[in-house]
Amino acid sequence: MTPDEKQGNRLAFLGALAGGLAHEIRNPLSTIAMNLQLLNEDWENPETERERRTVRKLGILAKEVKRLENILDDFLRFASGHRLTRESAQVSEVLEEVLEFLGPKFAQAEVELRAMLDEDLPLTRIDRNAMKQVFMNLLVNAIQAMPGGGELMVRSRRDGCDVVIEVTDTGEGIPEELMEKIWQIYYSRRRTGTGLGLPTSRRIVEELDGSISVVSEKGKGTRFTIRLPVAASS
Ligand SMILES: Nc1ncnc2c1ncn2[C@@H]1O[C@H](COP(=O)(O)OP(=O)(O)O)[C@@H](O)[C@H]1O
Ligand SMILES: [Mg+2]
């Protein structure tokens, strides 16, 4: 075995180990979540101060369980990045589905969506679900970068042998010195962030032979650009 192969084996082993651990934690966690839910129903109408305190604590527990579940979900998505499938897909359609799903979130955050999707995009060979995850990551990040609302532009177009997708927000922007850091595993500037969204996205896009890049200006906004190769027959 070459040193590279050894290193690869070691990483695969660690990935499987950590993935297994995350799965093992998830089952008891969902039992806890379910019982908290049942307890909550039992205490639906608190009468004394003591009972109200109990209900408040139940609320805190439920919130923290939710947070742990989010961390595990993000982690498992990152750890399972290596099992991508390839199918012919029109990226604008995939984007459309994600935008529709996130519609209520945009409204709630007072984010105005401007979608410019090329309906005649050539096909790409991608893993639809994985790419949905990537778009979801970028769009949720964009919403979070605009706490007071703003404008979100989502655009798809063909550029030579590539399909290009741009997600542009008018949010807080990313300071120059952090432009590299944001791609690191577990790097997050948000209190409840996991720091896995961008590294997972990069990994998925690169595994599909594409690229992802970012330009940003502090205080003005941020644009993420994804390029995916057009399928050979298109
Ligand atoms: N559109 C954006 N505008 C400003 N900052 C962003 C944007 N997208 C990502 N970031 C920064 O990159 C960090 C890492 O993002 P991500 O990997 O998705 O992790 P998380 O969202 O859990 O913090 C975020 O905490 C945030 O500071
Ligand atoms: Mg994120």
| Ligand 1 atom showing the smallest separation from residue 187 Cα | 14
Residue 194: CB within 6 Å of ligand 1? yes
CB 172 within 8 A of CB 218: yes
Cβ 168 under 6 angstroms from ligand 1: no
Q: Which CATH superfamily is domain 87-229 in?
A: Histidine kinase-like ATPase, C-terminal domain (3.30.565.10)
Ranges of each domain in the chain = 3-79, 87-229
Strands (E), the chain: 87-89, 111-117, 124-126, 150-159, 162-169, 211-217, 221-229
| pLDDT digits 0-9 by tens, 151-209 | 999 999 999 999 999 999 999 999 999 999 999 999 999 888 889 999 999 999 999 99
- Best of 73, 138, 141 for a ligand 1 pocket test (most atoms within 8 Å of beta carbon): 141
Which ligand is closest in space to the CA of residue 71?
Answer: 1
Q: What is the pLDDT of residues 28-53, one digit of tens each?
A: 999 999 999 999 999 888 999 999 99
pTM value? 0.84
